[in-house]
């Protein structure tokens, strides 16, 4: 089985993971100043025929994460890399984006603190998949002696974003949505998440 096949009932049965909705408070996060490079990349991306998940990831999401990486050399961004837990056939697959709190790594290393899943259709279709990925990140961190208990996630169709947070045995899904046309706010939220994991 793969992350993409996860459902919340299965996550509850197998791992005791619950789901709930909550305002995660990101609307109060300070906006982040955008570089001219990012703004130009996003403008160029919007002009492209972004009709597939791959196109959205390449033209609209990758520039955002490159900007985040430039601002935070203490992290490593991974894209399209398999993330399979050795002792769990259910927690297998390839998240679209993963962020580690270790700089300049060639291979995935703990602690992983954020997973992002890109969807071409309904964002809601990605909630359980992202929940499985952030739970797997916690288990991976624990196995690597980096016991980060709170892990963030996001599901996006490149234009709308919904953030998730695994805390305890509950995956909290934010009641608020954030949008590409509010990019300074969106970058501010991602920066806020990064800052929770700085040494």
What pLDDT digit, counting tens, does each position of 158-192 carry? 999 999 999 999 999 999 999 999 999 999 999 99
Question: Which residues, including other chains, have CB under 8 Å from residue 98's CB and lie 6 or more apart?
Answer: 77, 78, 79, 81, 83, 108, 112, 114, 115, 116, 137
- Give me the phi and psi of 140, to 5 degrees please: -60, -45
What pLDDT digit, counting tens, does each position of 7-18 carry? 999 999 999 999
Residue ranges of domains in the chain: 3-195
Is the CATH number 3.90.1570 carried by domain 3-195?
A: yes
Q: What pTM was computed for the model? A: 0.95
Least confident of 14-28, 49-63, 129-143: 49-63
């Amino acid at each position: 089985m793969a992350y993409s096949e996860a459902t919340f009932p299965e996550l509850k049965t197998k791992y005791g993971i619950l789901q709930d909705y909550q305002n995660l408070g990101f609307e109060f996060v300070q906006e982040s100043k955008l570089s001219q490079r990012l703004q130009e990349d996003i403008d160029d991306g919007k002009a492209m025929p972004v009709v597939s998940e791959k196109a959205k990831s390449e033209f609209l999401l990758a520039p955002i994460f490159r900007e985040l990486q430039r601002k935070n050399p203490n992290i490593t961004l991974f894209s399209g890399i398999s993330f399979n837990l050795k002792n769990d056939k259910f927690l297998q697959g390839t998240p679209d984006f993963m962020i580690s709190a270790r700089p300049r790594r060639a291979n995935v290393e703990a602690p992983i603190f954020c997973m992002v899943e890109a969807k071409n259709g309904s964002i809601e279709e990605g909630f359980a998949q992202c929940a499985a990925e952030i739970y797997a990140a916690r288990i991976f961190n624990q196995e690597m002696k980096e016991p980060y208990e709170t892990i963030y996630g996001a599901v996006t169709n490149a234009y709308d974003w919904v953030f998730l947070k695994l805390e305890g045995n509950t995956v909290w899904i934010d009641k608020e949505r954030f949008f590409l046309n509010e990019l300074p706010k969106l970058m501010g939220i991602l920066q806020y998440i990064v800052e929770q994991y700085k040494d």
